[in-house]
Amino acid sequence: MNKKILILILVILVVLIMGIIVGVTVLKDDDNITQENENQINNEEIVSDEVKEENTQNETNEKKNLIVYFSQTGNTQEVANIIQSLVGGDIVKLETVEPYPEDYSTLSTIAQQEKDDNARPQLSTNIENIDEYDTIFLGYPIWFSDMPMALYTFLDEYDLSGKTIAPFCTSGGSGLSGTPVVIQTKEPNATVTGGLSISSSNASNSQSEVQEWLDRIGL
Ligand SMILES: Cc1cc2nc3c(=O)[nH]c(=O)nc-3n(C[C@H](O)[C@H](O)[C@H](O)COP(=O)(O)O)c2cc1C
């Protein structure tokens, strides 16, 4: 074998060995990249599992609020809306099958008669999912130093055991007139908080009074 052929064979061998070394290195890098990708995917899965768990916990811990109110001339409705803007949750207006007249004198006569009769005016409002709520903010105007009789219908119709009831009212000056105690009597297995009384002339401007009350009762 002459010298030239020997050198040629050596060159081919060196090129082959270099080729093998480069090939192995590329494969190793690919392995590393695949491993890194797998780690990243696993980490993302763990993070998304944690987020899911946190969301479930928030859903579990979050108390659901329902604001239920009766309002004939809109004052209690103003306060109900303010409460909802501060605490969130759902809001429902209680309405009677037989609407009350707008004329004050006629309304007064009917309301007084219902009170004298201890009547239970039929409600057209039906709250099917009341069980879903933890806290019921219950609002009403004061009529003859009492709740309108429609509120008694509501308290008779719904079992609020285990819930927190936060009563609020608007009035010309009488204030709560002992109505939270009546609510507690009607719903003995509910927790009734201290009530909020707002003057009818201040209903639309009662944001700070409502906030102070919420702070006081811890809601
Ligand atoms: C039939 C009737 C009886 C009322 N009785 C009282 C009362 O005893 N004491 C009081 O301070 N205000 C009384 N008011 C005034 C209301 O409580 C007050 O205007 C309230 O803000 C009305 O709320 P609303 O707009 O949500 O219906 C009476 C109003 C009506 C219509």
Confidence at residue 10, expressed as pLDDT on a 0 to 100 scale? 75
Contacts (Cβ under 8 Å, ≥6 apart) of 191: 163, 164, 165
Give the domain extent around 33: 1-62
Tokens coding 79: 């306060």
User: What residues pair up with 196 in beta bridges, in sequence order?
Assistant: 168
31 Cα to the center of ligand 1, angstroms: 79
Q: Which of 144, 154, 156, 141 is nearest to 115 (CA)?
A: 144
Do 125 and 24 fall into the same domain? no
Tokens coding 48: 């998304």
Contacts (Cβ under 8 Å, ≥6 apart) of 176: 142, 167, 169, 195, 196, 197
Do 14 and 72 fall into the same domain? no
DSSP state of 132: G
Tokens coding 97: 């099958």
User: Which atom in ligand 1 lies closest to the alpha carbon of residue 112?
Assistant: 1
Structural domain count, the chain: 2
Do 100 and 186 fall into the same domain? yes
pTM: 0.77
Do 117 and 208 fall into the same domain? yes
Do 128 and 163 fall into the same domain? yes
135 Cα to the center of ligand 1, angstroms: 25
Q: Pick the more confident residue, 53 or 12.
A: 12
User: Which atom in ligand 1 lies closest to the alpha carbon of residue 108?
Assistant: 1
Residues flanking ligand 1, CB < 6 Å: 71-77, 107-108, 111, 141-145, 170-174, 200
202 Cα to the center of ligand 1, angstroms: 13
User: Which atom in ligand 1 lies closest to the alpha carbon of residue 76?
Assistant: 26
Do 21 and 88 fall into the same domain? no
CA dist 123 and 6 (Å) reads 108
| pLDDT band at residue 41 using 50, 70 and 90 as cut-offs | very low
Residue nearest to atom 28 of ligand 1 (CA): 143
CA dist 21 and 39 (Å) reads 27
CA dist 199 and 172 (Å) reads 6
| pLDDT band at residue 12 using 50, 70 and 90 as cut-offs | confident
Confidence at residue 184, expressed as pLDDT on a 0 to 100 scale? 98
Q: What share of the chain is helix, strand, coil (3-state, %, to 5)?
A: 55, 15, 30
Do 39 and 68 fall into the same domain? no
Confidence at residue 40, expressed as pLDDT on a 0 to 100 scale? 54
Q: What is the CATH number of the domain that holds 152?
A: 3.40.50.360
Confidence at residue 62, expressed as pLDDT on a 0 to 100 scale? 78
Residue nearest to atom 18 of ligand 1 (CA): 171
60 Cα to the center of ligand 1, angstroms: 39
Confidence at residue 112, expressed as pLDDT on a 0 to 100 scale? 98
Confidence at residue 116, expressed as pLDDT on a 0 to 100 scale? 98
